[in-house]
Amino acid sequence: MNDTTSTSRRRLKEARPQQLLDAALELFVEKGFAATRAEEVAQRAGVSKGTLYLYYPSKEELLKAVIREHLSSRIAAGAAAAEQHRGPVAELLREVFSRWWLEVFDSPTSGVFKLVITEVRNFPEIAEFYLNEVIRPAEELVAGIVQRGIHSGEFESLDIPNVVHSLCLPMVMLCVHKHSVGACTEHRVGFEPHEFVRAHVDLIVRGLLRTRGARRAAAA
């Protein structure tokens, strides 16, 4: 057992799960779980059908692994940023959304939203997972920020859950759209998602601000 050789095999073996997860995510998002053949996943990962089953005991377990991998809370970072933030809350909102957006929308993770939507009804365990790892933390994070704005007098005192949804749902919907209708057409050539995020947060913030003075500051 010399180190070099055994290492090259080990490296291969250690890389497999990620290769398989990546391939699976792509295909499950694209075609749906049921319509994706296990062999396709293997092929796209560059291995044979049998190899897939060395790493995951069934197609279903592969699905769950794919989802689990991408839902490990990316939200912690946002929470940390929120805590350290000083200055106008409006600014914080823009920052948090932009950052999340950069990390999610352009990465394969954005596909997981479509995947979850597509498959929860068939695999209800996913729902609990998604709720605990994504929805709940995200809502808490955003609700906390809005609450801060209200408390500081910066924002009007509106119903917080509603505001949270107004802020977040379009983001999620764009992720979903990107991997469904958006992948099939060149609709709205001029539409630029990244610009939209900023515009959307700005628009909502304008709706939240209490005074004309504050609104001017936000627009600055």
Partner DNA sequence: AATGAATGAGGGTTCATTCAT
Partner DNA sequence: AATGAATGAACCCTCATTCAT
Our measurement of the distance from residue 126's CA atom to the centroid of its chain's CA atoms, rounded to an integer in Å, reads 15
Q: Which of 65, 79, 81, 135 binds a second copy (CB under 8 A)?
A: 135
User: Can you tell me the distance from the alpha carbon of 7 to that of 50, in angstroms, rounded to the nearest whole number?
Assistant: 23
152 in contact with DNA (CB under 7 A): no
Which of residues 43 and 81 has its CB atom nearest to a second copy in the complex? 43
54 in contact with DNA (CB under 7 A): yes
Q: Which of 15, 34, 76, 102 binds a second copy (CB under 8 A)?
A: 34
125 in contact with DNA (CB under 7 A): no
36 in contact with DNA (CB under 7 A): yes
CB 28 within 8 A of CB 66: yes
User: Can you tell me the distance from the alpha carbon of 5 to that of 89, in angstroms, rounded to the nearest whole number?
Assistant: 56
Here the tokens at position 99 are 């950052």
Per CB under 7 A, residues contacting DNA are 5-6, 8-9, 12-13, 16, 36-39, 47-51, 53-54, 57-60
Per CB under 8 A, residues contacting a second copy are 30-35, 114, 116-122, 124, 127-128, 130-131, 135, 156, 158-159, 161-163, 165-166, 169-170, 172-174, 176-177, 179-181, 183-185, 187-188, 190-191, 195-196, 199-200, 202-208, 212
